[in-house]
Amino acid sequence: MHRPELLIPAGNLEKLRTALLYGADAVYVGVEGLSLRASSSEMSMTDLAAGVWEAHAKGAKVYAAANTFARNTDLQRAKKIIPEVAQVGVDALIVSEPGMLKLARNLAPQLPIHLSTQANTTNIEAVHFWKEQGVRRIVLARELNLKEVGEIASAVPEMELEIFIHGAMCMAYSGRCYLSAFRNRRSANEGDCSQPCRWEYKLYESTRPDDPLILQEDDHYSYLLSSKDLCIIEYLPEVLASGVASLKIEGRMKSAYYVAVVTRTYRQALNALMREKENDQCRREWIDELETVSNRGYTTGFAFAEEKINETNPDIKYVQTHEPAGIVLKYDPSRKRMLIGVRNHLVAGNEIELLLPDKTISIDTSTFIDVNGKMLSEANNDNQIYLPLENEAPVGAVLRQKVK
Ligand code: SF4
């Protein structure tokens, strides 16, 4: 069985480090001004250079996304940035349209090109076409099922194929959607989706504006346009059998906590699968872990779907069992304690867990001590506190607490 790459989203340098700590083989990052995500999840060139250096030191790869649908006015900036991206040593540039592909081929001919899922590649001939254009890897359209993915992998074995295995799904075809631009003047196609498909809607009849048809049960509204999130952890053997080279997690705008949990869980599952080929059962603990991060209920998406319809979850908005509590900034071996950057409202005595790459540890929270040595009964976002820990914790390790 071949060993596929586990590819993790890294919205900033901290999340890149989180992904590396918890077992990513590769990360993908936004390039300032050119990626298909809002500027909050793009990296400066300085951070990108640092991230590439750190990833390569750990044997991991960094792919830079320049997958906006470039307009004429974007081209000058692209001409400036593409050589800089190549210069800092990224392992590939992700593009989604022919203009950016042509620019990259001309300005950085040595830089491998990955074609974004935004290009909606759905068949063997399209893969041949992009191969002739010099594309090294294709992120296939999310709408393909695993049978179709396997057919493409067999027909064009020289092309690296990447598919999404986890994360949010659009109701629109591979994200080509105008709902956010229409409702909120924020275009999904320019990386700025405000996700109005997940908002609460009521249906009004024009002649009876005071009598809305509320599509709900109990105290929930209906989220008719909003897809469940993709999760294929139970079917990794089938995914690997399809022959894909890279397994991609969605979520460059999600938290470091999400990155930690999802990376660690899929890393453990893939390692177990590679190790114990005859015993490839999905473990309940992996599914439970993925329930700890914010999700809208899970679906296998189109992986096995005969009919091409996405699956919604009208009864829930978001669910999660845990939320971020903090991140390890430093470990003090002489006093056996770790300095935590708090990422929530924490109350002394409440249960907090530390996520290490290979296990989860319950932390003694009976006393919080701030950097001045003062005892606290609670701590808030951006505070720094000490918590006891017998053995060293790596910097960047993530802590969590139960959702109240
Ligand atoms: S509004 Fe929803 S369907 Fe449209 S691009 Fe955003 S997430 Fe996708």
Model confidence over 339-374: pLDDT tens digits? 999 999 999 999 999 999 999 999 999 989 999 999
Cα end-to-end distance, the chain, whole Å: 43
Beta bridge partners of 385: 340, 370
What pLDDT was estimated at residue 176? 77
DSSP state of 197: G
Cα–Cα distance measured from residue 24 to residue 5, given in angstroms and rounded to the nearest whole number: 8
Task: Return the residue whose CA atom lies nearest to atom 4 of ligand 1.
Answer: 177
- What mean pLDDT is predicted for residues 33-49? 76
pLDDT digits (tens, 9 = 90+) for 141-185: 998 999 999 999 999 999 999 999 999 888 777 667 888 888 788
pLDDT of residue 219: 47
Let me know whether 14 and 72 are in one domain.
Answer: yes
What separation in Å is there between the alpha carbon of 117 and the centre of ligand 1?
Answer: 14
Task: Report the pLDDT averaged over residues 129-145.
Answer: 96
| Residue 310 counted as domain residue | no
Alpha helix positions (H), 225-282: 236-241, 256-275
Distance CA 174, CA 189 (A): 10
Copy the structure tokens of residue 300: 């296998």
- Judging by beta carbons within 10 Å of its beta carbon (0-12, 13-18, 19+), is residue 307 exposed, middle or buried? exposed
| Cα 84 from Cα 82, distance rounded (Å) | 5
Cβ of 196 less than 6 Å from ligand 1: yes
Domain extent, residue 33, equals 5-172+227-299
Q: Are residues 253 and 292 in the same domain?
A: yes
- Estimate to the nearest angstrom the gap between the alpha carbon of 222 and the chain centroid: 26
Residue 138 beta carbon below 6 angstroms from any ligand 1 atom? no
**Torsion angle, alpha carbons of 285, 286, 289, 290, to 10:** -150
Query: Which ligand 1 atom lies nearest to the CA of residue 188?
Result: 5
**Are 353 and 275 found together in one domain?**
no
71 located within any domain: yes
Same domain, 251 and 393: no
135, 37: one domain: yes
pLDDT tens profile 110-131: 999 999 998 999 999 999 999 9
pTM of the prediction?
0.91
Asked if residue 295 belongs to a domain, the reply is yes
The distance of Cα 56 from the centroid of its chain, to the nearest Å, equals 20
Q: Which of 241, 267, 299 is the last residue of a domain?
A: 299
167 lines ligand 1 (CB under 6 A): no
**Using a 6 Å cutoff on CB, does residue 253 contact ligand 1?**
no
231 and 361 fall within a common domain:
no
Structural domains in the chain (count): 2
Tell whether 112 is covered by a domain.
Answer: yes
The answer to whether position 48 is within a domain reads yes
Closest CA to 386 of 345, 328, 322, 314: 328
State in Å: Cα 129 to ligand 1 middle: 28
Q: Whose CA is nearest to atom 1 of ligand 1?
A: 195
In contact, 188 and 281? CB cutoff 8 Å? no
**Which three-class secondary structure state does DSSP give residue 21?**
helix
- What pLDDT does residue 218 have? 40
Answer yes or no: is the C-beta of 177 below 6 A from any ligand 1 atom. Answer: yes
